[in-house]
Structure 1
């Protein structure tokens, strides 16, 4: 996993989870507590409510990306940049300042005037964006999007999200964002849930991961909460996201999210790392396939990259003996015990075993096929 240096702030597996707080200088932004048009008031908010509560990064939005509003042009965003620049010049703390934009002209102007990194919500749909970020040696968060500057985040299927993140390549300091939220009419809560469930797959891109899940609809729907009551589900998901490999969490609830992220980090699986060997966090075949694709390996090996364990009970002595022998033939293992037994094997081994089990073990065969096919 590549680590990223964002103006001296380390982001990646070798560093603690980073919290990105939000400041908007766009009057149309729906979350009013983060919206300011006075630089002095905005700077006070950053010092007290963002940096003061644990934000490492402050993401400054010049316009709302909500699909209900018309998209500002680059010129329109640039007209609002003065307020953003005056704000960051008035802040007494020293966070990393990120400019949220889709235009390379805005990114260049912001980086030239004191910003440290870019949050590209259209994922390099502007092909000049990576060039600008590289010239300024700036970290850039790249959100999965279609190749269209007016449709940020409007990708539904997880496989398409993964491919969209590769659009126009990466810089050495790219952070990937799978784009949670209702960015289009066709994107459903089920799409977001699947994206979250498969979050580890994005580690296959070899880049740090940013998630923006704060009070999102797909979490509120699970608990039946409105936006005001959605903080607990956001915090639960934050801990899970960090445990699954997220490195940056974008949020309006800085102090609480920081604590949840630290819990996720504390209980994340320890993985061995040294200069030449890295233990990967792989729990499914698809996750293994992503890493194999990155290193140029044979994707067929993914079937043997993870291990599954099933407890099997209710077998006769003959059935146990049959299962044990067939498991060995396919590279799996059945370990009998006094009150049942454990069947252990890779998906590839168990897939082959399921096809060779006799009729007497048809129920087990069906369970294995359903689980590993």
Structure 2
């Protein structure tokens, strides 16, 4: 039985966990501006919990392709009141950030997990996490959000992503971050073409075995689904749910999604009918 040590919580990963997305941003690709006030963000988080979310992932900076960076002070201003408002709920809270200063403020405010698209490459990030008890999601990306989708290139995307994540996991463990506090994310859409994303998805089970840590998969409403189905952003819910179930079937421990209720229902059906 795999247990994930995540701040205040020990998560039993013998079943899949659904992470609901709470974007406190004006410009996120799917729901930018919808929850960018404290009242709206908290209401959305509570709605996701009622729909069955196991974890809430709170983000104050869009990392969609082409997104502009947000100053540290502004990102903190966006997310910390939301974390404080939700910290009394009995649910793991995640901060989606790549900035060590935001990580520190969020940990002080009560988050249980740091979801970092930069895999703790920020100055001081590893030391900060080593001194805490929170979980960490290490993600692979090629380039930065502003330019990462211009011309992503790999010799072998599965080998290169796996190698990078393996090295980041080794470095974290060498810095006293225990393996049971680490999950890894291949980073779908973060410096990857459709071909790269498909190859990575088909290798979820292989990567999980090679890395030796649980995998978090986030493909919800992403461009790759639109490229496969021909559907625009608002019509990708069905594709997102199917992809989440397929990811779990291939060994994913956590799926990060916008459409929580539909994903939870689909996973219930999968569990009984598989």
Question: CA–CA distance in 2 between the matches of 1:120 and 1:134?
Answer: 15
Aligned with residue 261 of structure 1, among 250, 257, 267: 267
Structure 1 position 104, deviation (Å):
1.7
TM-score (norm 2): 0.84
Question: CA–CA distance in 2 between the matches of 1:222 and 1:58?
Answer: 28
Aligned with residue 83 of structure 1, among 69, 81, 84: 81
TM-score (norm 1): 0.63
Deviation string 1:158-203 (CA, Å, 9 cap, x unpaired) is: 211112213442332011001112x33xx21111001001111121
Structure 1 position 206, deviation (Å):
0.8
Structure 2 alignment gaps of length 5 or more: none
Q: Is 1:252 aligned to residue 252 of structure 2?
A: no
Aligned with residue 56 of structure 2, among 58, 79, 85: 58
Q: Is the 8 A contact 1:20 1:249 kept in 2?
A: yes
- RMSD, aligned CA: 2.6
Deviation string 1:83-140 (CA, Å, 9 cap, x unpaired) is: 3334425x7x422110011122211111111111110111122253232223221111
- Name which one, 1 or 2, has greater alpha-carbon Rg: 1
The secondary structure found in structure 2 opposite 1:207 is: coil
Question: CA–CA distance in 2 between the matches of 1:155 and 1:46?
Answer: 37
Question: CA–CA distance in 2 between the matches of 1:38 and 1:252?
Answer: 18
Question: CA–CA distance in 2 between the matches of 1:240 and 1:25?
Answer: 28
Aligned with residue 228 of structure 1, among 231, 234, 250: 234
Question: CA–CA distance in 2 between the matches of 1:96 and 1:155?
Answer: 36
Structure 2 equivalent of residue 174 of structure 1: 182
Paired residues for 1:1-373 under 5 Å: 3-6=3-6, 7-12=8-13, 15-32=14-31, 35-48=34-47, 50-89=48-87, 93-126=89-122, 128-146=124-142, 157-168=157-168, 169-170=171-172, 171-172=177-178, 173-181=181-189, 183-184=190-191, 187-203=192-208, 204-266=210-272
Equivalences, count: 260
The secondary structure found in structure 2 opposite 1:245 is: coil
Structure with the greater relative contact order (CA < 8 A, sep ≥ 6): 1 or 2? 2
Deviation string 1:256-294 (CA, Å, 9 cap, x unpaired) is: 1112233444567xxxxxxxxxxxxxxxxxxxxxxxxxx
Structure 2 equivalent of residue 274 of structure 1: none
The secondary structure found in structure 2 opposite 1:228 is: helix
Question: CA–CA distance in 2 between the matches of 1:34 and 1:261?
Answer: 29
Q: Is the 8 A contact 2:97 2:117 kept in 1?
A: yes
Q: Is the 8 A contact 1:40 1:87 kept in 2?
A: no
Task: Evaluate the alpha carbon distance shift between residue 151 and residue 135 of structure 1 in structure 2; reply closer, same or farther with a 3 A threshold.
Answer: farther
Structure 1 position 21, deviation (Å):
0.4
Structure 1 position 141, deviation (Å):
1.0
Question: CA–CA distance in 1 between the matches of 2:206 and 2:273?
Answer: 19
The secondary structure found in structure 1 opposite 2:234 is: coil
Structure 1 position 66, deviation (Å):
1.6
Question: CA–CA distance in 2 between the matches of 1:253 and 1:109?
Answer: 28
Deviation string 1:227-264 (CA, Å, 9 cap, x unpaired) is: 22222222222111111100000000001111223344
